[in-house]
């Protein structure tokens, strides 16, 4: 009986050791920090090594992300999977769940009331993600109308400058990369990556008056990302010739920034599997360019 008890105790002890060893995780080295990033309340610096659960697994990534904290929306940290030589980029931007415009009417895209306009541009977590460029027809607007002499303007900060871009005139709203993120500078036209712009505010400018901009009531500043820009941002990350794995990028994007339902609705797909395959193909295509 005593011998059995000892063997039982040894088995338990061995099990605890095995569990603890398994919990040790995988070594990741900090190769770049932008801004201020903490992991479990410890400020990270280049050269630090931390043990994380396998970030190739979506559930592990979600768990580990909860231990990272960022001071500003532009903060990010680049980690090198030391053993497998893969890069993982963790950004404050991916901590906020995105959604689409949530329009009540699909097909030809209309915004039919002030209520719909406010709902479209008031994402709960401050992030809108567009799968493609959109043109919207706005009818029945009162507080947010931009017909005749009034123009709808998107304003944001870029390189310390205030950028004002016309995105709406005569009841037509253009959500395109050109209307929003093409900036003319003395050296030429710059196409800004939407994933790098923190906050956009919407204004009205009345050309018949002093042309002063008036901020739209009850519309808080928000971020608007194009899906291709998000993927391109990840595709440009490289350290010593090592890039991000496309599967890791997939886990970063879905469902935190877009959902399979959004893809299904946008492109008329029948099921979630088809939508996920579409996103995988899109990521691999942009990475191959």
Cα–Cα distance, 245 to 195 (Å, whole number): 19
Give the pLDDT score at 18.
32
Q: Is the pLDDT score of 72 beyond 80?
A: yes
Distance CA 77, CA 32 (A): 6
- Average pLDDT rounded to a whole number, residues 2-22: 39
Contact by Cβ (8 Å): 172, 135: yes
Main-chain dihedrals φ then ψ at residue 138, nearest 5 degrees: -110, 120
Residue 126 clears pLDDT 50, i.e. is over it? yes
Q: Which of 98, 108, 103 is nearest to 129 (CA)?
A: 98
CB-based contacts of 176, cutoff 8 Å, min separation 6: 133, 134, 135
> 3-state DSSP call for residue 282?
helix
Domains of the chain: 1-95 (no CATH), 110-226 (2.60.40)
pLDDT at 108: 64
Q: Residue 38: which pLDDT band, with cuts at 50, 70 and 90?
A: very high
Q: Which range is least confidently modeled, 8-17, 108-117, 239-248, 258-267?
A: 8-17
Dist. CA 74–CA 36, nearest whole Å: 10
Mean pLDDT lowest for which of 11-25, 125-139, 202-216? 11-25
pLDDT tens digits, 256-282: 899 999 999 888 898 999 999 999 999
pTM value is 0.86
pLDDT per residue as tens digits for the range 131-185: 989 899 999 999 999 987 889 999 999 999 999 999 999 999 999 999 999 999 8
């Amino acid at each position: 009986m005593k011998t059995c008890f000892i063997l039982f105790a040894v088995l338990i002890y061995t099990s605890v050791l095995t569990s603890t060893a398994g919990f040790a995780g995988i070594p990741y080295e900090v190769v770049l920090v932008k801004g201020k990033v903490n992991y479990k309340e410890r400020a990270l610096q280049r050269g630090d090594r931390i043990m994380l659960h396998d970030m190739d697994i979506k559930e592990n990534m979600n768990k580990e992300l909860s231990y990272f904290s960022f001071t500003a929306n532009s903060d990010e940290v680049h980690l090198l999977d030391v053993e497998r030589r893969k890069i993982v980029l963790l950004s404050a931007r991916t901590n906020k769940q995105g959604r689409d415009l949530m329009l009540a009417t699909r097909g030809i895209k209309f915004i039919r009331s002030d209520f719909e306009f406010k709902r479209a541009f008031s994402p709960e977590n401050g992030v809108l993600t567009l799968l493609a460029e959109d043109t919207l027809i706005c009818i029945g607007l009162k507080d947010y109308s931009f017909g005749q002499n009034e123009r709808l303007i998107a304003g944001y900060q870029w390189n310390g400058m205030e950028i004002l871009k016309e995105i709406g005139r005569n009841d037509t709203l253009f959500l395109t990369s050109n209307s929003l993120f093409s900036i003319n500078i003395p050296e030429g036209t710059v196409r800004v990556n939407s994933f790098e712009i923190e906050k956009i505010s919407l204004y009205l400018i009345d050309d018949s008056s002093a042309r002063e901009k008036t901020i739209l009531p009850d519309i808080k500043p928000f971020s608007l990302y194009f899906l291709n820009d998000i993927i391109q941002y990840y595709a440009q990350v490289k350290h010593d010739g090592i890039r991000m794995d496309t599967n890791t990028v997939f886990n970063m994007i879905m469902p935190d920034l877009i959902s399979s339902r959004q893809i299904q609705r946008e492109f008329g797909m029948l099921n979630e599997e088809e939508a996920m395959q579409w996103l995988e193909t899109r990521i691999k295509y942009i990475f191959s360019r």
